[in-house]
Chains A and B, each alone.
Chain A
Amino acid sequence: MKITRLTALFLSALILLLSLHGCEKSQVADDNSDISAEAEIIEEIQTENTETEYTEASEIAPVQSNEEQVHGIPEIPEIPEVIEEPNIFALETHETFFENAAFVGDSVMYGLEIYSRRKKTIQSNATFLTISSFAARHALSDVTPNSYHPLYNGEKMKVEDALLLDGANKVFLFLGLNDVRVTPNEYFNNYVKFIDRIKETTPDISIFIISTTYPIESPHSMDRPTAASYRDQLKDLNEKLYNYSLENGAYYIDVITPLMSENGFLDNKYTSDSYVHLTNSAYEIWTQILDEYALSLINTGFPPTYEEATDDDITQSTTEVLTTENAPPSDIETEFISVESIQQEEITNETEEIQE
């Protein structure tokens, strides 16, 4: 008797379900428009999350397809899974960012040390490992009484050893001015070898490569062609370092673009010795760039973005067009602008000749 009742109940429920299923199918078309709109909103929110802050992948609510929502069948979300690395700088403050940093370089970097100490900028809390004429080839050499190595706590030592002792979690490198003319075929390889050594000794350290700066167009100590050749080698190094940073997870900070003349040399107003060394006003710009870079990393996990040169910008000087830090080596833009200007001049000349 009980079995008969249960069977009847089961059959009734089955008929009811089938009839409801038929009704729902007819409503799907009407519901689709609402569901699509809802899905769009969810997708927008997710895109925003991806761009602005790091969210655990598991926290992203899976979006169900129309069919899933109708049938209530759980399926693997269709949107591609966003694998986001945590922002390793998120817990830093502006102060700690530089307290835990070391600046390594030659006399130009030493200039930043002087500037930051005297002006008591936030970078003055960093460790400075600088020595005049320092080059990547020196960094790779052994320490001897006559070797070029910076002092750490009064002791001459290899940079990688000093970084290990210091405990810095970021290193800002500025080399090249004393490399390119001395080791024309090796300057980039030596730089990379030096970075590799640092990574071997302190694997968790973040590498920041500061673009090398250029000489002025007509230094006291060399003729213009020599200065141009020197600048070209430095430009080549910057381009290689920029690409290296993209491919190897390093950070490339462009400090030369805002300091350049229209001809792509160091602007005379930023040199303190009519050659390569910088003025306080140049270091003021460096400091702004470093601060913006640090704050961007702390807040977003990413370097600051830069604006591409537009047609409207072409009439402006390069230094006005590219003002941010993570721009690629600036001379690419400079050459582009120069070519455009030349082409424009040629067109104008041709038009004038035709008119004549």
Chain B
Amino acid sequence: MKMIKILVPIFILLSFTVASCAPETLTTDVSATQLSGTILDEYTFPAMYEVPTDELLAEFGISDKHFSEVSAYTTEEPYGIERVFFAIVKDGESIENAKTELTAYFDMIKGQSANYDPVEFAKAENASVYSNGNLLALVICEDSDGALNKVKELIK
């Protein structure tokens, strides 16, 4: 009996700990294309260029080999800071590796914008690379915070 009294709290405690450590998983079946479409529709962007997968490395510094689906946009005119990136990481691929690559790219363009227009830099400052389950996302626009919250809402 004593053993049960000791083990039950430990079991409950362990359950909570394991649950909190477990990776968040994408709970909806929203696709990368749907997410980018919604964000582009609801937030302000200049004319955007849809990046083909074979140009992903050149445009975003990340290979498409990580992903089963990618939907990525950058500005039609060179040097615009706005970006929309949604990708579903393939089974067996590490989302952490993909996130590291995308973060390196994001830091690079943020650093570049710091040298030029403060308005553009502010857009990048308020953005961040976001991951949830096998979803990897980056949105840079005038309301980067609001766009990210919208993404979180969409994948609930």
Contacts and interface: CB of A to CB of B under 8 A. Distances in A.
Interface in B20-63: 49, 55, 58-59
Interface string B57-90: 0110000000000000001111110000000000
B148 to A, nearest CB: 24
A71 interface: no
B112 A107 contact: yes
Contact of B78 (A133, A220, A278): A278
A110 B108 CA distance: 14
B120 A221 contact: no
Interface in A269-297: 272-275, 277-280, 283
Interface of A: 107, 110-111, 114-115, 117-118, 132-133, 220-221, 272-275, 277-280, 283
Nearest to B75: A272
Nearest to A112: B78
A275 B117 contact: yes
Interface of B: 49, 55, 58-59, 75-80, 112, 115-120
A157 B68 CA distance: 34
Contacts of A110: 78
A221 B79 contact: no
Closest 5 CB pairs of A and B: A111-B78, A272-B77, A277-B79, A132-B112, A273-B79
Contacts of B117: 220-221, 273-275
A275 B115 CA distance: 12
B119 A220 contact: yes
Instruction: Kindly name the residue among A115, A117, A272 whose own CB sees the greatest number of chain B CB atoms within 10 A.
Output: A272
B78 A221 contact: no
Nearest to A219: B117
A202 B116 CA distance: 35
Contacts of A272: 75, 77-80
B79 A280 contact: no
A291 to B, nearest CB: 19
18 contacts: A107-B79, A115-B78, A117-B55, A117-B58, A132-B115, A133-B115, A221-B117, A221-B118, A272-B77, A272-B79, A273-B80, A273-B117, A274-B117, A277-B79, A278-B78, A279-B78, A280-B78, A283-B78
